[in-house]
Amino acid sequence: MQIIKRILTNNFAPDSLNVTAAKSRPFAMAKPYYGEKWWDDKSVAVVTGANKGIGFEVARELGKCGITVIVAARQQQLGEEARDKIQASPGCSGKIIFHQLDITDASSIIRFASWVKHEFPQGLDIVVNNAGMAFKGNTFGAAEALTTLDTNFFGTMNFTEAIKPSLRDVFSRVVIVSSRAGKSSIIPGQALRKEILFASSKEEIGRLGERFIEDIQNGKHAQEGWPNSMYGISKLLLTVYSRIEAKELEPRQVMVNACCPGWCKTDMSSWGGPKTALEGADTPLWLALRTPSQFVTGKFFGERMEVDV
Ligand SMILES: NC(=O)c1ccc[n+]([C@@H]2O[C@H](COP(=O)([O-])OP(=O)(O)OC[C@H]3O[C@@H](n4cnc5c(N)ncnc54)[C@H](OP(=O)(O)O)[C@@H]3O)[C@@H](O)[C@H]2O)c1
């Protein structure tokens, strides 16, 4: 199997503070935001993987706020059905639009980003990077790791890079739906754990992703200090990426935060877990709707509280 160089260059783009601590809150879903309302009917949000699960609920709640929501889904029929369902939901006052997006497909990403640039020249207020996948059971191998990282890590990173020029300067927000399954404590090798946590560029974090896959392929991933969790590694690298991206976008005052929705009953979890998808949508929504005075960036949250990576 050939490992393709997965990090896209800047040419990939179609046209080539103050930190406030999060407050703790009870588990149950309530009002999805604090503080004053900053958005209006011209505000625009993109939610990836919005045809079902947590992404669907995030998109639906944003629609109820009156925000224009782009339901991004890789399968047209499922995306259109989700769009219609959200638009018809009680209380939905925002305009709901579908656009195809497969975050593992470069041409799909470019089409999406070009369309956004053309349709929304005023820019995007919110991007929720929710799309993700996980193999079921104990599946493990280099090809499977490539698939997992291609979606959860490289795909999300590439999509964010491509959509970045369309983010509104000053207080737009990027929310990265990661997972506590990707906490750094899953890495048995101390040296490797440090290397990942201290990665300071996209190239560096991208190379670590490629190394994980290569090490599995060469039968030495355990020896090199990696765990057996492909999903965990994809999400850990994603969380570290969000921190790197946050630094890069801070001069534009764009908030970039990662979060874990918690264990939710969705297709991905085979309907296990204590939370509903709507409850899982709570922290992503809370990050998406923060007021400018609650500016926070480069952090990792769960249940509206900052958590260690
Ligand atoms: N459920 C949990 O317990 C849990 C816990 C921690 C973190 N998370 C994270 O939460 C996010 C949402 O998960 P979920 O539980 O709602 O899962 P889900 O119901 O399986 O939904 C996943 C969504 O991602 C989409 N997707 C997958 N691959 C894609 C691709 N290449 N391009 C575009 N979209 C793609 C899926 O589209 P299709 O319908 O076309 O497959 C679907 O819309 C994921 O990032 C997941 O890792 C979930």
The DSSP code sequence of 196-233 is HHT--SHHHHHHHHHHHHHHHHTT-TTTTT--S-HHHH
Q: In angstroms, what is the span from residue 208 Cα to ligand 1's centroid? A: 23
Q: Return the pLDDT at 135.
A: 98
Q: Which residues on adjacent β-strands are paired with residue 71?
A: 47, 98
Determine how β-strand 255-260 pairs with β-strand 300-302. parallel
Q: Which atom of ligand 1 is nearest to the CA of 180?
A: 6
Mean pLDDT taken over the chain = 90
Output the residue whose Cα is nearest ligand 1's atom 43: 49
Ligand 1 centroid distance, CA of 23 (Å): 27
Residues 14-20, mean pLDDT to the nearest whole number: 30
Q: Indicate the SS3 state at residue 260.
A: strand
**Torsional class of 123: left (φ above 0), alpha (ψ -120 to 50), beta (otherwise):** left
Nearest-CA neighbor of 93 among 123, 69, 116? Answer: 69
The Å distance, Cα 81 to ligand 1 centre, comes to: 17
pLDDT value at 222 more than 90: yes
The amino acid at 175: V
Query: Which residue has the least CA distance to atom 23 on ligand 1?
Result: 49
- Which strands sit side by side in the sheet containing 300-302, from one edge to the other? 96-100, 68-73, 44-48, 126-129, 173-177, 255-260, 300-302, 305-306
CA 94 – CA 96 distance, rounded (Å): 6
Higher-confidence position of 24 and 59? 59
Q: Which residues line ligand 1 (CB under 6 A)?
A: 48-49, 51-55, 73-75, 78, 101-104, 130-133, 151, 155, 177, 179, 260-261, 263-264, 266-269, 273, 277
| Ligand 1 atom with the shortest distance to the CA of 104 | 31
| Dist. CA 115 → ligand 1 center (Å) | 23
Query: What is d(CA 180, CA 57) in angstroms, rounded to the nearest whole number?
Result: 20
Indicate if the pLDDT at residue 14 is higher than 90.
no
* Mean pLDDT of the region 242-269: 98
Q: What would the mean pLDDT of 156-178 be, rounded to a whole number?
A: 97
Give the atom of ligand 1 at the shortest distance from the alpha carbon of 155. Answer: 31
Give the angle subtended at the CA of 295 by the CAs of 278 and 57, to the nearest 5°.
15
Are 75 and 83 in contact by the 8 Å Cβ rule? The answer is: no
Nearest CA-CA partner of 233 in 285, 189, 167: 189
Tens digit of each residue's pLDDT (9 = 90 or more) over 110-144:
999 999 999 999 999 999 999 999 999 999 999 99
Quick one: pLDDT at residue 30?
Answer: 52
34 counts as catalytic: no
Among protein residues, the one with the nearest Cα to ligand 1's atom 19 is: 53
CA-nearest residue for atom 11, ligand 1, is 130
Task: List the beta bridge partners of residue 126.
Answer: 45, 173
At residue 41 the predicted structure's pLDDT band, cuts being 50, 70 and 90, is: confident
Task: Determine the pLDDT at residue 205.
Answer: 97
Q: All domains of the chain, ordered by start, with CATH?
A: 42-138+155-186+232-302 (3.40.50.720)
Nearest residue (CA) to ligand 1, atom 26: 131
At 25 the pLDDT is 36
Cβ pair 44, 267 in contact under 8 A: no
